[in-house]
Amino acid sequence: MEKLGMILPLLVPIIGTLFIVNKRLISDKNLTKVVAVTVIINFVCVVYSLFFNDLTAVHILKVNAFLDIYFKVDQLTRVFSLLASSLWVLTAFYAFAYMDHEKRHRQFYTFFTLTLAVIMGVAYSGNLFTLYGYYELLTLCTLPLVIHPGTAEALQSGKKYIIYSFGGATLVVLGMMMLYAVTGDMSFMAHGIVDLSLIEGNRDLLKWSYLAMFLGFGVKAALVPFHSWLPNAMVAPTPVSALLHAVAVVKSGVFSLIRMTYFIFGTQTVLALDVTKYLMPFVVVTIVMGSLLALHQDHLKRRLAYSTISQLGYILLGILMLTPNGLLGAMLHLINHAVIKITLFFVVGAITHMTHFKYIHQIRGIGKQMPITMICFTVAAISLVGIPPTNGFVSKWFLGLGALNIGNFLYIIILLLSAFFTAGYLLPISVTSFFVSSKSEFHERDGYQAHYETLHEMSDDSVRETTREMANDMIHEVAHEATHEATHETAHETANDTIHEMANDTAHDTAHNTLRNETVAARHSEDGEAGATGAKPIKLEPPKGMLYPIVLLTVIIVGLGIFPNTIINFLGVVIQDAF
């Protein structure tokens, strides 16, 4: 019974997936209910197995010391599994509203829950072989989510994702083989398993083993120059993008690096091998380049994607400092960045869901129409910048202390420079949404929203011409109202985006949609006139299923900043095990 209680978090998502794929047993109407029950029960099982079950280690199948499927619970397991399972619950409820108008729901939720099972396997892995097995499965389970839109761009992004991931996994296998040749064991243990006495005569083998595995796991952690798959993966639906950046893939890479560095090699061994001098340049370039590339992105999701690359560099920097403060800063930032970045992606997804806007230049003044949503974005952005007393400041403070512990002021300068860049690519979004607006822009957005649903579901050849005629009419009307040349160009660009994107959606009853949207258009027309005369603009807050997770995550962000000692004390056991 104790054995079952320990591995329930790995089994529940698999059982839920089996129900989801069974069309006869679970109808499309009840699909989301099964997903909700699965992720909630999984979270309860995680809490039970981590804190109320006495068994903390179990061998499922052991052939020899190398081929051993082994699960173990320690403090690092608790940190990662609690983070993943809780964020999965919030993402599930967000996805129910976001995916409402998307296609292939059953396929999406099948791999959504299956990926949760794989992430739990990563968290509970007790040795390097088990971790590697789930690491490979993670690529296979997330690939269908990345290519879910089914477009040529999505398929190309999926191809790049799988090539990079399998390339990194090959390096991991190479490093594992060299490590096993020296140690004969790959189990995770406090302070590591590589004794200093093993270094003599095996220095080169161990050095190459560490470098190969660091670079291999670094692929999923978006280490430059292995980062380009991550921005390309933004073609996936927003719930997928949020999980990719918050916990599912990139944090699995970071988690694996912590396991390998501190629970396989050990701090003293890594210091003795003197391998950090080869890796630190990659990390510094990752931090700076990610920030600089983010500054030049007008696409909202791509800007957040490059931001993730930079922020992951912070965590890698803390890992390679090999000091208690550095590792504490890395662990804090692993948690803080996960909560902050998933909030930012949820907000961007809400904007796209309600307005179909994807670019920063399109969201001028939208904060007045989506005030709660954009306030949450602003709080998360300020936290990621690291302005006191936010949670982002706390993690960067400890990273700075770690740099001081090793006497390297360059790292502090890099952290400050990156924080400046972070403010440069995030805060302007909030400023644009709240403080940059004009009368013509209000009309442009309202007019666009009135036409959006009509155009949204037309894809058959018989209605394509109608779609183009309606969009061209919209170009004429929006451009006529524009009073500035820049706004005129924006109106044309927005309408052309409509022609390109909306004509590809699912065809439904055109007459019904037209009748329904005539009413919507009349209401938006009145609101557009009110906006032009200075009246209160129409509110476009997302559905409650999307808004509530965003607000709750924002509350968590604020709480982590106000009460950081709770998390710091929880992470203290991880630091003790590492040092």
Is the pLDDT confidence value at 503 over 80?
no
* CB-CB contact of 535 with 490 (8 Å): no
- Least confident interval from 146-150, 176-180, 369-373: 146-150
Give CA–CA dist 143/158, Å, rounded: 6
Token pair belonging to 267: 């701090």
77-135 pLDDT, tens digit per residue, is 999 999 999 999 999 999 999 988 777 889 999 999 999 999 999 999 999 999 999 99
413 and 499 within one domain: no
Is residue 197 included in any domain, yes or no?
yes
E strand or H helix at 69: strand 68-72
pLDDT of residue 462: 40
400-453 pLDDT, tens digit per residue, is 999 999 999 999 999 999 999 999 999 999 998 998 864 444 444 444 444 444
- Least confident interval from 60-64, 184-188, 344-348: 60-64
Share of the chain above pLDDT 90, in %: 66
566 and 421 within one domain: yes
- Alpha-helix runs per DSSP H in 128-202: 128-146, 152-183
Q: What is the helix, strand, coil percentage profile of the chain, to 5?
A: 80, 5, 20
379 and 503 within one domain: no
Tell me the three state secondary structure of residue 101. Answer: helix
Give CA–CA dist 193/412, Å, rounded: 32
The number of domains in the chain is 3
From 274, 297, 312, give the residue that closes a domain: 274
* CB-CB contact of 273 with 207 (8 Å): yes
Is residue 261 included in any domain, yes or no?
yes
Is residue 206 included in any domain, yes or no?
no
Confidence of residue 245 (pLDDT cuts 50, 70, 90): confident
- What integer is the mean pLDDT of 466-476? 46
316 and 232 within one domain: no
Is the pLDDT confidence value at 269 over 80?
yes
Closest CA to 34 of 112, 115, 102, 86: 112
487 and 359 within one domain: no
Closest CA to 128 of 84, 194, 36, 81: 194
Confidence of residue 243 (pLDDT cuts 50, 70, 90): confident
Name the residue type at position 427.
Answer: L
Token pair belonging to 189: 């243990």
* CB-CB contact of 474 with 451 (8 Å): yes
Is residue 213 included in any domain, yes or no?
no
Name the residue type at position 426.
Answer: L
pLDDT of residue 403: 95
Sequence-separated (6 or more) residues with CB below 8 Å from residue 274: none
285-309 pLDDT, tens digit per residue, is 999 999 999 999 999 999 999 999 9
Backbone angles phi, psi at 52, to 5 degrees: -125, 0
Which residues are 299's β-sheet partners? 359
DSSP string computed for 359-374: BGGG-TTGGGTSHHHH
Confidence of residue 536 (pLDDT cuts 50, 70, 90): low
pLDDT of residue 456: 42
Confidence of residue 471 (pLDDT cuts 50, 70, 90): very low
Is the pLDDT confidence value at 137 over 50?
yes
Specify the higher pLDDT residue, 479 or 60: 60
131 and 23 within one domain: yes
Confidence of residue 498 (pLDDT cuts 50, 70, 90): very low
Burial bucket for residue 407 (CB in 10 Å: 0-12, 13-18, 19+): exposed
- Least confident interval from 337-351, 358-372, 481-495: 481-495
- Alpha-helix runs per DSSP H in 356-460: 371-385, 391-405, 409-435, 439-456
E strand or H helix at 531: helix 510-532
Is residue 187 included in any domain, yes or no?
yes
- What integer is the mean pLDDT of 479-500? 42
435 and 293 within one domain: yes
Total residue count of the chain as it appears in this document: 579
* CB-CB contact of 43 with 89 (8 Å): yes
450 and 421 within one domain: no
* CB-CB contact of 507 with 457 (8 Å): yes
468 and 325 within one domain: no
Is residue 208 included in any domain, yes or no?
no
Give CA–CA dist 230/217, Å, rounded: 14
Confidence of residue 35 (pLDDT cuts 50, 70, 90): very high
pLDDT of residue 495: 41
* CB-CB contact of 454 with 514 (8 Å): yes
Closest CA to 570 of 44, 39, 78, 85: 78
Give CA–CA dist 104/102, Å, rounded: 7
What does the mean pLDDT of the chain come to?
84
Token pair belonging to 150: 């089914």
Sequence-separated (6 or more) residues with CB below 8 Å from residue 142: 111, 115, 161, 240, 244, 248, 249
Give CA–CA dist 457/446, Å, rounded: 19
Is residue 567 included in any domain, yes or no?
yes
- What integer is the mean pLDDT of 189-216? 93
Token pair belonging to 568: 């710091």
Domain containing 336 equals 282-440+544-579
* CB-CB contact of 76 with 575 (8 Å): no
Give CA–CA dist 503/92, Å, rounded: 28
Is residue 212 included in any domain, yes or no?
no
H and E: helices and strands count for the chain: 23, 2
E strand or H helix at 68: strand 68-72
pLDDT of residue 463: 40
Rg from Cα positions in the chain: 25
CA 489 to chain centre: 33
From 243, 274, 305, give the residue that closes a domain: 274
- Least confident interval from 116-120, 331-335, 431-435, 467-471: 467-471
Is the pLDDT confidence value at 576 over 90?
yes
pLDDT of residue 537: 60
336 and 290 within one domain: yes
427 and 458 within one domain: no
pLDDT of residue 64: 85
Give the relative orientation of helices 2-21 and 105-124 as an angle to the nearest 10 degrees: 160
306 and 257 within one domain: no
Half-sphere exposure of 70 (CA within 13 A, CB side): 18
- Alpha-helix runs per DSSP H in 261-323: 267-273, 276-295, 300-321
Q: How many other CB atoms are there within 10 angstroms of residue 457's CB atom? A: 17
